[in-house]
Amino acid sequence: MVDIMILFVTTLALVTAGELPFRNTSLSWDDRVNDLINRVTTEEIMVQMSRGGSGPHGGPAPAIPRLKIDPWSWNTECLRGDGDSGNATAFPQALGLAATWSTDVIHKVSEATSIEVRAKYNFFRENKQYGDHKGISCFSPVVNIMRHPLWGRNQETYGEDPLLSGTLAYSFVQGLQGGNPRYVRTNAGCKHMDVHGGPENIPVSRFSFDAKVTERDWRLTFLPAFKKCVEAGTYSFMCSFNRINGIPACGNKKLLTDILRKELGFTGYVVSDQAAIENIIDYHHYTNNSIDTEALCVNAGCNLELSTNLEKPIYFSMLDAIKAGKLSKETVLESAKPLFYTRMKLGEFDPLKMNPYNYLDMSLVQSEDHRQIALVAAKKSFVLLKNNGSFLPLTKRLKKIAVS
Ligand SMILES: *[C@@H]1O[C@H](CO)[C@@H](O)[C@H](O)[C@H]1NC(C)=O
Ligand SMILES: *[C@@H]1O[C@H](CO)[C@@H](O)[C@H](O)[C@H]1NC(C)=O
Ligand SMILES: *[C@@H]1O[C@H](CO)[C@@H](O)[C@H](O)[C@H]1NC(C)=O
Ligand SMILES: *[C@@H]1O[C@H](CO)[C@@H](O)[C@H](O)[C@H]1NC(C)=O
């Protein structure tokens, strides 16, 4: 009897919510995405691709009321818990997690983080709250190779080893995204792509830096961890502030299309780092107007702009770039597809009841389970930097020791 009731309720939900094909769960994802793309105007796509977030100004991507599409927040951090949007379990910073040398710890931490992010999103959505750090699309993990202590935000990386970074990133991505065959719990976004931090041993402004990298070093040092992210199934990457051999990362077709899509087989979306696209004009002086910059980045494969400019993100020049013949409408439509596909896989256009992740609730935030995971991770992250005061009773005759 109970089973019949549940079946009845589910069927009812499918029929009432399924009036447009992009909401029809019997259709393939591709058909649904194509249907949706055919219903939005180029102007609407322009706005959707311009609102990746960034502080209170850049997002969320606005609602499309005539299609009953709600706003969407693309910018949630997820690196070590979800403290940016209120109470959350605080997990050790990424560098500490790397010091655990444990894919199991990383997986548990990212899973717990994802559960809390999703639980809060379910609450926010129910209360119609959209904005900064209120979404389920993550800007994590950070897989930059850290070779010099003076680079900024080193603590967010897994250190200097490409193999370790990639191995941990793989677990982190899978922990965030969850193991459901149909849905993604929260989507990962590996960053910052690429050569951020550079092979050079000289920290300079990461906003205007031109990383000079040989093809060999690029592929052996700066790409392997990103490749592991693709293998783990990440839905997103974030392109970095710097240039790579003269070409800004977010406008770098070799990186974002030839390598990332064609070679590594990535099919998701690329979001620009905060103001990275504006910086192509202001810091790199690589282009000198928004139309050329727009065309450069969209044609290169950057799907979503994370602008700090509320009035006029660079991607607001989309229609002008099309008019000027520098960007094709077809490219724009293709660029928007992974954005809507990701939202679909996160469950946005399906009946709520179909998706088990919609049942994660606020009681999971700072749960005893998650606190225990944080405690274990913290204990395993301890590193003895100096054996001061013979903290470890080691004999002086030992010159070097290896600890595993
Ligand atoms: C959903 O798609 C299926 C398969 O094409 C179709 O049979 C069904 O009528 C559609 N449902 C609605 C509510 O449009
Ligand atoms: C955060 O947790 C504290 C302590 O449990 C509680 O008093 C407070 O109301 C919580 N804040 C929110 C926004 O939930
Ligand atoms: C902008 O760049 C173009 C192409 O590099 C150049 O021809 C033009 O003179 C520049 N305009 C200004 C105002 O600097
Ligand atoms: C180092 O060890 C000495 C002797 O045990 C102690 O007095 C000192 O506080 C320790 N320093 C640190 C930084 O722990």
At residue 55, the pLDDT reads: 63
Cβ neighbourhood burial of 122 (10 Å; 0-12, 13-18, 19+): buried
Q: Is the peptide bond before 192 cis (omega within 30 degrees of 0)?
A: yes
Phi, psi of 68 (to 5 degrees): 55, 35
- Structure tokens belonging to residue 288: 């000198």
Q: Any idea which ligand is nearest the CA of 129?
A: 2
150 or 58, greater pLDDT: 150
At residue 280, the pLDDT reads: 98
361, part of any domain: yes
- DSSP helix, strand, coil percent of the chain (3-state; round to 5): 50, 10, 45
Domain residues for 380? 23-396
Q: Which atom of ligand 2 is nearest to the CA of 362?
A: 14
Of 6-15, 286-295, 379-388, the one with minimum mean pLDDT is 6-15
132, part of any domain: yes
Instruction: Categorize the per-residue pLDDT at 231 as very low, low, confident or very high, splitting at 50, 70 and 90.
Output: very high
| C-beta separation of 116 from 370 below 8 A | yes
Instruction: Categorize the per-residue pLDDT at 305 as very low, low, confident or very high, splitting at 50, 70 and 90.
Output: very high
Q: Any idea which ligand is nearest the CA of 292?
A: 3
Distance from C-alpha of 271 to C-alpha of 336, rounded to nearest angstrom: 12
- Does the structure show a pLDDT above 50 at 17? no
15, part of any domain: no
| Atom 2, ligand 2: residue with shortest CA distance | 87
- Structure tokens belonging to residue 78: 């997820």
- Does the structure show a pLDDT above 70 at 15? no
Task: Give 33's DSSP letter.
Answer: H
Instruction: Categorize the per-residue pLDDT at 18 as very low, low, confident or very high, splitting at 50, 70 and 90.
Output: very low
Q: Which atom of ligand 2 is nearest to the CA of 365?
A: 14
Distance from C-alpha of 271 to C-alpha of 302, rounded to nearest angstrom: 6
Q: Any idea which ligand is nearest the CA of 391?
A: 4
User: What integer is the mean pLDDT of 230-235?
Assistant: 98
Distance from C-alpha of 182 to C-alpha of 193, rounded to nearest angstrom: 28
- Is the CB of residue 87 below 6 angstroms from any atom belonging to ligand 2? yes
- Is the CB of residue 18 below 6 angstroms from any atom belonging to ligand 1? yes
Find the catalytic residue in 82, 194, 210, 273: 273
Average pLDDT, the chain: 93
Orientation angle between helical segments 42-50 and 329-345, nearest 10 degrees: 60
348, part of any domain: yes
129, part of any domain: yes
Number of domains making up the chain: 1
Task: Tell me how crowded residue 323 is: count the other CB atoms within 10 A of its CB.
Answer: 11
Residue 72, beta-bridge partner list = 61
Residue 248, beta-bridge partner list = 243
| Atom 8, ligand 2: residue with shortest CA distance | 87
197 or 31, greater pLDDT: 31
At residue 147, the pLDDT reads: 86
User: What integer is the mean pLDDT of 288-299?
Assistant: 98
| C-beta separation of 168 from 229 below 8 A | no
Distance from C-alpha of 20 to C-alpha of 393, rounded to nearest angstrom: 71
- Is the CB of residue 16 below 6 angstroms from any atom belonging to ligand 2? no
Ligand 4 binding site (Cβ under 6 Å of any ligand atom): 388-389
DSSP 381-401: H------GGGSS---TT-S--
Q: What is the dihedral of CA 119, 123, 126, 129, to 10 degrees?
A: -120
Coil, helix or strand at residue 256: helix
Ligand 2: residue of 85, 87, 371 to mutate (most ligand atoms within 8 A of CB) is 87
User: What integer is the mean pLDDT of 211-233?
Assistant: 97
| C-beta separation of 96 from 374 below 8 A | no
User: What integer is the mean pLDDT of 133-148?
Assistant: 95
402, part of any domain: no
The distance from CA 208 to its chain's CA centroid, rounded to whole angstroms, is 22
Asked about 350 being catalytic, the answer comes back as: no
- Is the CB of residue 27 below 6 angstroms from any atom belonging to ligand 1? yes
Phi, psi of 28 (to 5 degrees): -70, 160
CA 88–ligand 2 middle distance (angstroms): 10
Q: Is the C-alpha dihedral spanning 85, 157, 194, 229 positive or negative?
A: negative
Residue showing tokens 């950070």: 142
Residue 139, beta-bridge partner list = none
Q: Return the CATH number at 88.
A: 3.20.20.300
| C-beta separation of 158 from 143 below 8 A | yes
Residue 142, beta-bridge partner list = 191
14, part of any domain: no
| C-beta separation of 385 from 103 below 8 A | no
Task: Tell me how crowded residue 15 is: count the other CB atoms within 10 A of its CB.
Answer: 10
Instruction: Categorize the per-residue pLDDT at 177 as very low, low, confident or very high, splitting at 50, 70 and 90.
Output: very high
Ligand 1: residue of 26, 28, 354 to mutate (most ligand atoms within 8 A of CB) is 26
| C-beta separation of 90 from 82 below 8 A | no
Phi, psi of 139 (to 5 degrees): -100, 50
Task: Give 28's DSSP letter.
Answer: -
140, part of any domain: yes
